[in-house]
């Protein structure tokens, strides 16, 4: 039983480049979240996938950010034309929302540095 | 709309003293409430949750939290703090029987002073 995995663990990129961050949730978990955390601060919600429902994209900070979840499993968060303010740790979490009582399991995160 | 508030950015407690980290919430219906902890350079971990039943919930590492419906609070407590409890603590809420996303508070940094 592997936990939530994320890749890469670290990503350094130049301003203006596109990046893709990957999340492999726990098998069978239908809910998947992306968060952003800057410098050990609070969690900023980005996007929420739940089963086959339309994702809740209300937290995406700009149209440079997008995410998809293929086959209800792996998710990719894409940031286009990266800016220095995008530098943060990007966290993915998955859960099996049994009537809302779900416990979230977090991945180790991807540390993104935009130079 | 659901919301959760952690009114303290930072809490300092002397080792051996009791600690409390505050959390209040707002939901339309009945809540599911959670506490998560993030130790330095480590990922977020589940600590405890309230679903139903006994208002006092016991979790990992000797922590407990008390659900108070009238005050819409879910404060995290521990009778005797350890230096190793120093971490970032997040409260979260979700409305019962809905598939809406879970909502996290902004976090409280707990410093246990030796």
- The DSSP string of B26-47 is E-SS-EEEEEEEE-TTS-EEEE
Cα–Cα distance measured from residue B22 to residue B72, given in angstroms and rounded to the nearest whole number: 11
Closest chain A residue to the Cα of B48, Cα to Cα: A103
Nearest-CA distance A90 → chain B (Å): 11
CA distances to A48, B12, B16, B33, B90 from B87, rounded to whole Å, are: 26, 11, 16, 19, 10
CB contact under 8 A, B99 and A100: yes
**Residue B13's closest CA among B111, B104, B97?**
B111
A13 pLDDT exceeds 80? yes
Contact B86, B112 (CB under 8 A): yes
Average pLDDT over residues B76-102: 90
Which is it for strands B19-21 and B31-38: parallel, antiparallel or unpaired? unpaired
The pLDDT, as a whole number, for residue A100 is 66
Residues of B in contact with A56 (CB under 8 A): 100-101
Q: Name the nearest CA neighbour of B17 among B104, B100, B91, B80.
A: B80
CB atoms within 10 A of CB A53: 11
Q: Is the pLDDT of residue B5 over 70?
A: yes
Confidence of residue B102 (pLDDT cuts 50, 70, 90): confident
Contact B107 A42 (CB under 8 A): yes
pLDDT-based confidence at residue A1 (cuts at 50, 70, 90) = low
Of A42-46, B64-68, B89-93, the range with the lowest mean pLDDT is A42-46
What is the strand order of the sheet A5-7 is part of? A5-7, A19-24, A75-79, A65-69
- Distance of alpha carbon B107 from the chain centroid: 9
**Is the separation of the CB atoms in A76 and A22 below 8 Å?**
yes
Is 80 exceeded by the pLDDT of residue A75?
Answer: yes
Tell me the per-residue pLDDT of B18-64, one tens digit each, with 9 for 90 and over: 999 999 999 888 899 999 999 987 889 999 999 888 999 999 999 99
pLDDT the model gives residue A40: 66
For residues B90 and B49, give the distance between their C-alpha atoms in angstroms, rounded to a whole number.
12
Residue A102's pLDDT band, with cuts at 50, 70 and 90, is: confident
Cα–Cα distance measured from residue B69 to residue B67, given in angstroms and rounded to the nearest whole number: 6
Q: Which H or E run includes A36? A: strand A31-37
Interface residues from chain B to A (CB-CB < 8 Å): 32, 34, 36, 38, 43-46, 49, 51, 88, 90, 94-107
Residue A99: per-residue pLDDT:
63
Q: Give dist(CA A111, CA A91) in Å, integer.
A: 9
The average pLDDT across A41-68 equals 91
């Amino acid at each position: 039983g592997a936990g939530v995995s994320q890749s890469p663990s670290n990503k350094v990129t130049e301003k203006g480049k596109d990046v893709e961050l990957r999340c492999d949730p726990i098998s069978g978990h239908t809910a998947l979240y992306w968060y952003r955390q800057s410098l050990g601060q609070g969690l900023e919600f980005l996007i929420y996938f739940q089963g086959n429902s339309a994702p809740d994209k209300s937290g995406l900070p700009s149209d440079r950010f997008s995410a998809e979840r293929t086959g209800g499993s792996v998710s990719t968060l894409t940031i286009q034309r990266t800016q220095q303010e995008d530098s943060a740790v990007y966290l993915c979490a998955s859960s099996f929302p049994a009537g809302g009582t779900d416990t979230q399991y977090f991945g180790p995160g991807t540390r993104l540095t935009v130079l | 709309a659901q919301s959760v508030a952690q009114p303290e950015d930072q809490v300092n407690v002397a080792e051996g003293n009791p600690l409390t980290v505050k959390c209040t919430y707002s939901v339309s219906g009945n809540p599911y409430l959670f506490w998560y902890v993030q130790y330095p350079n480590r990922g977020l971990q589940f600590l405890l949750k309230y679903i139903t039943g006994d208002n006092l919930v016991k979790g990992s590492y000797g922590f407990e939290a008390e659900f108070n419906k009238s005050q819409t609070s879910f404060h995290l407590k521990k009778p005797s703090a350890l230096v190793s409890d120093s971490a970032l603590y997040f409260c979260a809420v979700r409305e019962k029987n809905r598939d809406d996303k879970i909502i996290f508070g902004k976090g409280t940094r707990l410093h246990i002073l030796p």
